[in-house]
Amino acid sequence: MPELPEVETIRRELEHELLGKRIRTVEVFGRRSVRRHESPEEFIAALEGKKLAYAKRRGKYLLIGLDAKNVLVVHLGMSGQLLLKPKGAKEPLEPHTHVVIGLSQGFQLRFVDPRTFGEMFVVSIERVEEEIPELAHLGFDPLETVMSWTEFGRLLMARKTMLKPLLMDQRFVAGIGNIYSDEILFAAGLRYDRSSDSLTAQEIRRLYRAMVETLTDALKHKGSSLGDEQYKDIFGDIGEFQSQHRVYGREGKLCRRCRSPIVKAKVGGRSTYYCEKCQV
């Protein structure tokens, strides 16, 4: 599933390329991607004629402003892609294309989702949290929330749970998933199963710094695309941060720091990668 760096990459590209463009046409193929609407026709009517005003991110959700009252909410799910086709492009639709939004100046924005866990829907700004209750309880945003490491430490101490599940808990910190929780914990030198209330002041500082620096670096590389290349930016390009992964997906390969083999464990049904020597 795309995590914070991937979703933020897409948000920034949408903001740069699409703001101010007007929606001319909307095509929907099937109902699953617009399932919150009564019908595809309702979704189409809510979009056509609207101008794209802004692009925001809340956790792993994209909120694209349509006017003063309504937003287009996009969740990429496990495999969703938003692909921008430039003016005059006549490429055939990609397999698993579910929505095509025709924009002014001949541009197209296509929503492609092989596994169909993603979705798009239009809702009033006031009802966003009603439609997506988890947004009402999101934790802090690690790239946008200004926080001292002492405040971060206070939050850690209050939770008293294993570090990896805590980093992936959207109610604690928004946007981090399986990939970046592993990479952050390696950078901080901490095991996945350390209790959050067991960290020293120095370890708390290391973890906070590792979280911010890892996510910032991943964003500079436009996120991570794994072997299936299901994550792509709006231009159809894959991310580059996967080449920088220190532990994720590297079971049996040598640690880039100490040359010990990377180990895989299971935590809550998720694969977890770490170095037994570098992480304590």
Sign of CA dihedral 16, 47, 170, 224: negative
Report, at the CATH architecture level, how domain 149-274 is classified: Orthogonal Bundle (1.10)
Q: d(Cα 39, Cα 56) in Å, to the nearest integer?
A: 26
Sign of CA dihedral 198, 200, 206, 211: positive
The pLDDT of residue 228 is: 85
Q: C-alpha angle with apex 239: 141 to 231, nearest 5 degrees? A: 80
Q: Identify the CATH assignment for 4-137 out of 3.20.190.10, 1.10.599.10, 2.40.70.10, 3.40.630.30.
A: 3.20.190.10
The pLDDT of residue 129 is: 95
The pLDDT of residue 227 is: 85
The pLDDT of residue 80 is: 96
* Structure tokens, 79: 């495999």
The pLDDT of residue 86 is: 87
Residues of the chain with confidence (pLDDT) below 70: none
- Taking alpha carbons only, the member of 73, 71, 72, 95 closest to residue 83 is 95
What's the residue count for the chain?
280
The pLDDT of residue 158 is: 95
Task: Tell me which residues are annotated as active site.
Answer: 2-3, 60, 270
Q: C-alpha angle with apex 263: 261 to 265, nearest 5 degrees? A: 175
The pLDDT of residue 68 is: 87
Cα–Cα distances in angstroms (integers) from residue 35 to residues 85, 134, 154, in the given order:
25, 18, 40
Q: What is the CA radius of gyration of the chain?
A: 20
The pLDDT of residue 87 is: 78
Judged by DSSP in three states, 167 sits in helix
